[in-house]
Amino acid sequence: MAKQTFTTGQVLTAAQMTSLQQTAMNGGAASAKTTSYTLVAADAGTAISMTNAGATTITVNTGLFASGDTVTIVNLGAGTCTITAGTATVSTSGSLVLAQNQGGILYFTSASAALFLQFATPASGDIEGVTAGTGLSGGGTSGTVTLSIASAQSDLVIKGFEEDVNVVASAATGTINFDVATASVWYYTSNATANHTLNFRYDGSNTLSSKLAVGDAITLVWLNTNGATAYYPNVIQIDGSAVTPKVPAAISAGNASAIDAYVFTIIKTAATPTYTVLETQTKFA
C-alpha cells in the first residue's frame, strides 16, 4: 500500500488493513516494471520489482518522499538494474547495480537524500562453509574456513576489508598511479604543487578492469594536502582512459590550507569496460 493520509474517525476496509499489515512487515503493495522507471511519490511504502532481460534503471528524484519513507526494490530480470540518483542523492555501502535476484531498501533521510540498504546475497567471496577441526565445536581455536574467493579477485577483496592507507611524503603533481593493490586509501602529506591526474589501476602489471566483474563496485579515497595555494585532481582515469565522474556539485578547485578528501565509487557496468564513477569532495581543515 502506498503511503496514505488518514482522517479522524475514518473506517478502513479489510483490504486497506491487509495492505497496511503487509507494508508494516516491509512488504507493501507490489508493482512490477519491465522497463526503466522513475520513482513517484505514490511508491512510498511499496515494493518495486524489475523484470527485464536487458539493463534497466530506477531513477530517484528529490521532493517526492519524506524522511523515514522507504521503497523496496528487487531485480528479478536477467539484466542488471541500476539505482540512479536523478536530482536526489543516493548513498550506499553496497552496490547500486543489482544483478538478478538481488535487491534492497531505499530509506529516505530527507526529501532529497536516501540510503540504499542492499540485501545480503551469496556471491563470489562469501564464506560458504566451515570444516570443523579438532575441538572446534567445543570452543577450540582450530579449524579450516573454506573461502570461495576467485584467485583473480582475492587481493582486491582482502584489501577492501583491511582499509590499508598508503601514506606518501610527496606533493601531488603530474599523473599519480593509484594502485588499488597497494591500498584503498592514498594520503599525500606534502602540499600539492599543481592540479594532477589520478589514474586508478590494480597495479603496474594488472588493470583494474581485469579485477572487476560487471556489477562489481569499489570505493577508494584520495587525500590531498594543500598549502596556501590549492590544487585538486582535475583529470580522472581508469587504466589510463579518462572518465567523467558524477558529482553532487561541480568540483573545480581544491581548498587552501586544508586536506581534501575525494571519495570515488567505481561501478563497472559493462565488459567493454564501461564505468559509472561517483565522486565527492570534503574539506578537512
Asked which of 118, 139, 162 is the last residue of a domain, the reply is 118
Give the phi and the psi of residue 211 in degrees, each rounded to 5: -105, -10
Angle at the Cα of 85 from the Cα atoms of 83 and 90, rounded to 5 degrees: 85
User: How far is 51 from 33, CA to CA, in rounded Å?
Assistant: 6
Q: Quick one: 160 and 279 in the same domain?
A: yes
Over the stretch 206-215, which tens digit does the pLDDT of each residue have? 999 999 999 9
Report the pLDDT averaged over residues 95-113. Answer: 92
| pLDDT score, position 133 | 54
Q: Quick one: 165 and 114 in the same domain?
A: no
CATH number at residue 76: 2.60.120
Q: Quick one: 158 and 81 in the same domain?
A: no
Examine residue 260 and state whether it is found in any structural domain, yes or no: yes
Over the stretch 189-212, which tens digit does the pLDDT of each residue have? 999 999 999 999 999 999 999 999
Domain that holds residue 100: 14-118
User: How far is 116 from 112, CA to CA, in rounded Å?
Assistant: 13
From start to end of 153-257, where are the E strands? 165-171, 174-179, 185-190, 196-201, 217-226, 233-238, 241-243
Q: Quick one: 182 and 111 in the same domain?
A: no
pLDDT band at 94, cuts 50/70/90?
Answer: confident
Given a cut of 70, is residue 244 above it in pLDDT? yes
Q: Quick one: 202 and 260 in the same domain?
A: yes
Given a cut of 60, is residue 134 above it in pLDDT? no
Cell 566483474, residue located: 213
Q: Quick one: 166 and 280 in the same domain?
A: yes
Examine residue 229 and state whether it is found in any structural domain, yes or no: yes
